[in-house]
Structure 1
Amino acid sequence: MSDITNTPGLEPATPSDDHNPSKSLETPKNAPKETFYTRQFGLLCLSSFLFFCSFSMILVELPAYLTKLGGEAYKGYIIALFTLAAGLSRPFSGKLTDTIGRTPVIMFGAVVCFFSGFLYTWLITVFGFLFIRFIHGMSTGFTPTGTAAYVADVVPASRRGEAMGIFGLINNIGPAIAPALGSLIVVYYPIDYMFYCSTIFAALSLLLLSRLKETLPKEKRQPFRLSLLKINPRKEIIEPRVIAPAISFLLLVVPFGIVLTIIPDFSEHLGVFKSHFLTVFTLSSLGIRFVAGKVSDRFGRVQVIKVGSVVLFTAMAIVGFATQGWMLLTGAVFFGIAVGIISPTAFAWTIDLSDDAGRGKALATLYIALEAGIGLGAIFSAQIFNNNPQNFPWAFWLGCGTSLIAFIYLQFGLRKQDIV
């Protein structure tokens, strides 16, 4: 099969278009609609779905598991260490994505995810658990960076937002069903079985990845060597072109870190099954991702993300005021709508502002912001909560504050060249 970047209708935007984002999104009125529904796109979506199932199915059970190990005071580190490792991995995964290729980076993350499932069953001390969380985080430091670059390679610029929406939709079906599956396994079997199931999902993801064709052009590929792991802090960590999407995204994912850390305890406090919030919010985000992507292609990324920030503020306010299960799940619906609006649009915005040569670094920059925001949300919400139910509202209202700051930044803090 020929290199996919040479397939008619699937060429990535030219460098000149990438330097002019608004131009790259223009499509002649009478031009045929370019497609991105290809075998490679389908394989990547299915593999990514299984990858997300692998690490998300264990999330809601980890706080209780850590408590049983005697580490109740370290709940905030369940997410924080995971995101710290992912964030530290991003400069390396971004550079390697642009040098050795997309598929090796994607597969490395899946391999880490595969072995992490086994490690949870072997290292059963508090320190061992926290060590595994850090190692496990490297998986999301590599695989999503490579997959995002791969998607950008194989979709036409005029349908970038739509493609990111569909890709995100399929990815989020995993987190919608996997946590409930993980909790169900723990009800009837020892928790080790949940970790083994996580490993099986990672193995299936790897199997599909082996069928992917590399999209980085041959003339740009280099064989792996240790010197590629040497990072120039000034030039190879942050892509200056995408600072605006990164800042806004960091602020808007703080609530996600709060939710991942506090919702399991808050759900039990209100008498709601621990996985229900994650399932409801993920399901509510699915349909809106497709719509938000298409709308952002037409009306612009910034305007759509501003709408998302308002919905996110509303969601965190509802959850903070929740005193009954139905109020919590109502907040979950709004939270899912907000995530469905913001996430694909932020990635499309980042790709719009990047060029072909630095696409991996640009996406790594956004992912660094993602991990930093989630980590900060996890750490600060855990400190605010401090295992005291009276502090639940304040932990969630922290997310209201960062959502408001993000809206203000999008409204008044952007440069002209950032607005697409």
Structure 2
Amino acid sequence: MNSQEKQPIWTQGFISIFLSNFFIFVAFYGLLTSLPIYVVDELGRSSVDAGLIITIFMLSAIIVRPFSGKLIQDFGKKKTLMISMILFTIFSFMYLLVENYALLLVLRFVHGIWFSIASTATGAIAADIVPLKRRGEGLGYFAMSMNLAVVCGPFISLTLLQYVSFSILFLVLASLITFGVLFTAFSKMKEVKKTTAQAEKKRLQFSDLIDQKALPIAFVGSLVAFTYSSVLSFISMYAKDLNLIEAASYFFLVFAVAMIIARPFSGRLYDSKGPNVVIYPALALFMIGLLFLSIAHSAFMLLFAGAFIGLGYGTVVPCLQTLAIQATDHHRSSHATATFFTLFDTGIATGSFVLGIVVAQLGYETLYLLAGLFLILVIFMYKLVQSRKKATSPALEWQESSL
């Protein structure tokens, strides 16, 4: 315990990267919420066109994400983050200039590239900054920057749209990113030096794109993301169908509060007792939340479900990301982060499409019932990955216990 107390998590470097990541995701979620409305109301396009605006952004992120680890390793984490954040900011301001749907699609695709690189770099830097023996707790706190942005981004967008034009909204969101650039510029980050073999290697290899050691747990993460896409993509429409649209605006607030309450305990438990003690209960809570959603017919039930989902999903994702990073060598944290989020983004994108078909055929209640039951498969796959890990490394009880 004393050794842990001598290794603080909330250092100047950690706070800086936390805030940088927070502002990246505030802009991401702010645009995610407002652009579909902009496409339909201002550009006069269909809801299908509005959905494509989201899909093409995710597509570019998925395509570029595997290359992010190699870029970060070659150019350095802070340098890569600074360049990608500056470009992410510049392209954020360009929403003020684009009033054509085709050009907006191009802008979204290019914007997704810089988002992918920047968010991979912040995750890799956070993994390097937090003390090794408190990595589960530290990366859990870091994940709060994204989860808080889930609340702040949509809240800023939907609140401002009641009083100002889209141009002002885009200006505000782009300006917020500049704060992230400033926090990055003034932060102190240690670079992990490349080995001689890494420095001499020039040819692009599969290992530069995907970290094979992180791949199994990243696959489990993609299944969790697939399930969560049912909430991310359809909760507002489900609430509207139930005449609970006002309550839906508080759904992610309850989600975030539940996650924040659980985060300190879950992170410390992860580091002291290992991942299974946290991940199995978290998946169970996530399942319960989805099953409650399937029978929600009141604002109370909707928000009650949001609390369970916040506890479950909000806990399990940073734990899986930590496992992916711990599965590989220390100098490959950026590759592991890129691998995890490549599969995670793919799970979100695939789930939004596949589960959209389920909604069209079976309705929202059945969607959330099936999504909850799908987590039984996720639990089984996680158990399989962990048992194979123990079989291949029987001498290792838990990585952190030997540090």
Q: Is the structural similarity TM-score above 0.5?
A: yes
Query: 1:121 maps to which residue?
Result: 96
What are structure 1's unaligned runs of at least 5 residues? Answer: 1-26
What residue number does 1:247 align with?
Answer: 219
- TM-score by length of structure 1 reads 0.83
Deviation, 1:188, is 1.2
- The answer to whether the 8 A contact 2:88-2:114 is kept is yes
Read off the aligned partner of 1:168 and give its amino acid letter.
Answer: A
In the TM superposition, what are the counterparts of 1:13-412 in structure 2 within 5 Å? Answer: 33-68=6-41, 69-217=44-192, 231-232=204-205, 234-269=206-241, 270-273=243-246, 275-386=249-360, 391-412=363-384
Question: Per-residue deviation at 1:77?
Answer: 3.3
Cα deviations across residues 256-279 of structure 1 (Å, max 9, x unaligned)? 322222123223332323532222
Q: Distance in 2 between matches of 1:205 and 1:31?
A: 29
Aligned-pair distance for 1:132? 3.2
Query: What CA distance in whole angstroms lies between the structure 2 residues aligned with 1:32 and 1:319?
Result: 41
Shift of 1:102: 0.8
Q: CA RMSD in A?
A: 2.8
How far has the Cα of 1:381 moved from its partner? 2.5
Deviation string 1:11-34 (CA, Å, 9 cap, x unpaired) is xxxxxxxxxxxxxxxx8x878642
* 1:115 CA drift (Å): 3.0
- Counterpart of 1:92 in 2: which secondary structure? helix
Counterpart-to-counterpart distance in 2, 1:148 and 1:217: 14
Q: 1:375 to 1:200 in 2, by over 3 A?
A: same
How far is 1:401 from its partner?
Answer: 4.1
- Alignment partners' CA distance in 2, 1:124 and 1:272: 29
Partner of 1:10: none
Note closer, same or farther for the CA distance 1:398–1:31 as it changes in structure 2 (3 Å cut): closer
Note if contact 1:87-1:371 (Cα within 8 Å) is conserved in structure 2: yes
Gaps of 5+ in 2: 399-403
Question: In 2, distance between residues paired with 1:350 and 1:194?
Answer: 37
Q: Match for 1:337: what amino acid?
A: L
Shift of 1:307: 1.7
Task: Measure, in 2, the Cα distance between the counterparts of 1:108 and 1:397.
Answer: 44
Shift of 1:219: 5.7
Change (3 A) 1:288 1:136: farther
My pick for the range that moved more, 160-169 or 44-53, is 44-53
- Aligned-pair identity (%): 23
Amino acid corresponding to residue 300 of structure 1 in structure 2: G
Provide Cα deviations, 1:101-154, integer angstroms capped at 9, x if missing partner. 111222233234323433333333443443333333223311221112212222
User: How much does 1:199 deviate?
Assistant: 0.2
Distance 1:348 1:413 in 2: 15
CA distance in 2, matches of 1:283, 1:336: 8
Structure 1 CA distance, aligned partners of 2:220 and 2:125? 24
Task: Return the alpha-carbon distance in structure 2 between the equivalents of residues 132 and 278 of structure 1.
Answer: 28
SS, match of residue 411 in structure 1 = helix
* CA gap 1:105/1:290 in 2 versus in 1, 3 angstroms: farther
What is the total number of aligned residue pairs between the two structures?
Answer: 386
- For 1:306 and 1:31, locate their aligned partners in 2 and report how far apart those are by CA, in whole Å: 25
